[in-house]
Amino acid sequence: MAKEKVLITGGAGFLGSHLCDRLISEGFRVIAMDNLLTGDIQNIEHLMGRTDFEFLHHNVSNYVHIAGDLKYIMHFASPASPIDYLKMPIQTMKVGSLGTLNCLGLAKAKKARILIASTSEVYGDPLEHPQKENYWGNVNPIGPRGVYDEAKRFQEALTMAYHRFHGLETRIVRIFNTFGPRMRLDDGRALPAFISQALRNEDLTAFGDGSQTRSFTYVDDLIEGIYRLLLSDYPYPVNIGNSEEITIKEFGEEIIKLTHSKSKIIYKDLPKDDPRQRKPDISLAKKELNWKPEYTRVEGLKSTLEYFKKKVLC
């Protein structure tokens, strides 16, 4: 019997490559699509040559055709860090709009279920804390971060339009800060920057006064939550993240301690519209998916640190 097929856009990225591994382990044939703008072919090299894996070098913002049946589509293509979407604002908005439209059209044609990767950034700089799925957010649509925030908000609206108008089976995951092996060293976000700097005994660069908070989720926990959402009957957005909150200053100190680094923390101006606090309310995920994080931040950091050591110190 032929294996059911799954298309994963952004399949060579940090999260996309982990999803490829998971779906293959669950018995699916995976098609990974990526234009390698921010993805890395090394993330999926170990899958090349398998009969249940195929890589397509393609930009999902252009017309997408997949031969044969498709069981699921998982749309994870997009620049996802500020350093990327500030450098590629048009591509970011295209993949959130045209790329999503192409994926939804393909799902409709194939009668496939589609899961869309959204983000905690739809909440902007939140006035509600922690953030629940029914919070509409506090976003500056014309600020520098608006290209990502609004692309994802439009993506959600478009997905729900296809769900309501065409009866398409849709799933939407709102992803909070996630870390783990295969993160890019030059990602620009706090965790890869801090670990890379600490391993080199360089000063850790924090923005603002370090009092802003984040909540970090280990990648294995996130992938588990996404897989459960894919198989669930819940069509609306679901937060997947870790509700353990920490300030950026405390996080930097934690990295220095874990790496036994001689680094110290220095502070620079906070970027425009950078969120002051970020923490998910995950009660909906617990209820609908029977999901909660299993890894502590420190447990996840230890395996992530081993990955970064090989990249930074080799």
pLDDT at residue 67, as a whole number: 95
Residue 151 counted as domain residue: yes
Q: Please tell me whether residues 196 and 163 are part of one structural domain.
A: no
- Fill in the amino acid letter for 120: S
83-100 burial: b if 16+ Cβ within 10 Å, else e:
ebbbebbebbbbbbbebb
Q: In sequence order, what are the beta bridge partners of 72?
A: 6, 113
**Each residue's pLDDT tens digit, 102-122:** 999 999 999 999 999 999 999
**Each residue's pLDDT tens digit, 290-310:** 999 999 999 999 999 999 988
Q: Which domain holds residue 198?
A: 190-213+245-276+296-313
How many domains are contained in the chain? 2
Question: Per-residue confidence at 87, pLDDT binned at 50, 70, 90?
Answer: very high
Tell whether the model's pLDDT for residue 85 goes beyond 70. yes
Question: Which is nearest to 266 in space by CA: 218, 186, 204, 224?
Answer: 204
**CATH code (residue 308):** 3.90.25.10
Q: Please tell me whether residues 209 and 165 are part of one structural domain.
A: no
Q: Please tell me whether residues 49 and 161 are part of one structural domain.
A: yes
Q: Where are the alpha helices (DSSP H) in 200-270?
A: 219-231, 248-259
Which uninterrupted H or E stretch holds 105? helix 89-110
Q: Catalytic site residues?
A: 148
**Each residue's pLDDT tens digit, 220-236:** 999 999 999 999 999 99
**CATH code (residue 117):** 3.40.50.720
Separation between Cα atoms, residue 53 and residue 91, nearest integer Å = 27
- Tokens found for residue 119: 């983000």
Q: Please tell me whether residues 154 and 250 are part of one structural domain.
A: no
Residue 185 counted as domain residue: no
Q: Please tell me whether residues 112 and 199 are part of one structural domain.
A: no
